[in-house]
């Protein structure tokens, strides 16, 4: 699948650039599983969802799940090289 190749390339790039290894995550994770990987809290992830910011998520009923591919894409899209002007 072309998408699999894209995702694998994205993970490799993220790992090389940031040291964050998403390969250990299940394809679908809870906020509790994602928070330590992102070095944040479940509450911070909940606040992002409330503000409609942050990593895309899936909600069904009261359950919230994150797709590993969405996490990778979010990190790649929000990576700063330190040249941003304040």
Helical (H) or strand (E) element with 13: helix 2-18
pLDDT tens, residue order, the chain (86 aa): 456 677 777 777 777 777 777 878 899 999 999 999 889 999 999 999 999 999 999 999 999 999 988 998 888 888 777 666 65
- Could you tell me how far CA 38 lies from the centroid of its own chain? 7
Largest CA distance in the chain: 41
Q: Specify the pTM.
A: 0.78
C-alpha to C-alpha distance for 43 and 40, rounded to whole angstroms: 8
Domain spanning 23-77, CATH class:
mainly alpha
Are 9 and 2 in contact, with CB atoms under 8 Å apart? no
Rounded Cα–Cα distance for residues 65 and 56 (Å): 9
């Amino acid at each position: 699948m072309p998408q699999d190749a894209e995702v694998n390339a994205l993970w490799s790039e993220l790992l090389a650039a940031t040291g964050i290894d998403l390969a250990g995550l299940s394809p679908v994770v809870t906020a509790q599983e994602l928070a330590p990987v992102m070095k944040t809290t479940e509450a911070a992830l909940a606040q992002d969802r409330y503000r409609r910011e942050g990593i895309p998520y899936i909600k069904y009923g009261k359950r919230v799940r994150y797709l590993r591919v969405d996490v990778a894409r979010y990190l790649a899209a929000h990576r700063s090289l330190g040249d941003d002007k304040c």
